[in-house]
Structure 1
Amino acid sequence: MFERLTDGARGVVKGAVGLAGQRGDARVDPGHLLLALLDARGTKGAFALAALGVQREAVVGGLDEARRRGGVSAADAEALAGLGIDVTEIVSRVEEAHGEGALASSGRQAGRLRRAGSGHRPFTKEAKTILEQSLRVALARKDKIIGDEHLLLALTARPGVVRDVLAGCGVTFDGVQRVLGQGNGGAATAG
Structure 2
Amino acid sequence: MFERFTKAARDVVKGAAEHAERSGAEDVTAEHLLLALLDRDGTRAAGVLGRLCPAERRGALVAALADARRRAGLSRADSEALAELGIDVDAIVARVEETHGAGAFSARRRRSGRRPFSGEAKAVLEKSLRVALARKDREIGDEHLLLALTASGGVVAEALADHGVTFASVETAL
Give the TM bin, normalised by the shorter chain.
over 0.9
Unaligned runs of 5+ in 2: none
1:6–1:148: 8 Å Cα contact kept in structure 2?
yes
Name the amino acid aligned to 2:128. S
Amino acid at match of 1:165: A
Superposition misfits of 4+ residues, deviation over 3 angstroms = none
Name which of 142, 152, 155 aligns with 1:158. 152
- Residue in 2 aligned with 1:84? 86
Partner deviation per Cα, 1:105-133 (whole Å, 9 max, x = no partner): 0xx12xx1xx33x2x01100000000000
Matches within 5 A, 1:135-150: 135-150=129-144
TM-score, length-scaled by structure 2: 0.95
Number of residue pairs the alignment of both structures matches:
172
**Structure 1 residue 96 displacement after superposition:** 1.4
Aligned counterparts, 1:89-128, within 5 A? 89-105=91-107, 108-109=108-109, 112=110, 115-116=111-112, 118=113, 120-128=114-122
CA distance in 2, matches of 1:69, 1:52: 26
Aligned residues: CA RMSD: 1.0
Contact (CA 8 Å) 1:35, 1:56: kept in 2 or not? Answer: no
State which of 112, 128, 133 in structure 2 corresponds to 1:134: 128
1:30-81, Cα deviation, whole Å (9 max, x unpaired):
0000010011111111111011024331221011101100111112112222
TM-score (norm 1): 0.87
Consecutive unaligned residues of structure 1, counting only runs of 5 or more, are 181-191
Structure 1 residue 73 corresponds to structure 2 residue 75: yes
Partners in 2 of 1:144 and 1:102 — Cα distance? Answer: 44
Please state how far the C-alpha of 1:82 moved relative to its aligned partner: 2.1
Structure 1 residue 167: Cα displacement? 1.1
Specify the code of the residue in structure 2 equivalent to 1:135.
L
Shift of 1:25: 1.1
| Distance across 2 between alignment mates of 1:51 and 1:168 | 15
Q: Percent identity?
A: 60
Q: Which moved more, 1:125-134 or 1:165-174?
A: 165-174
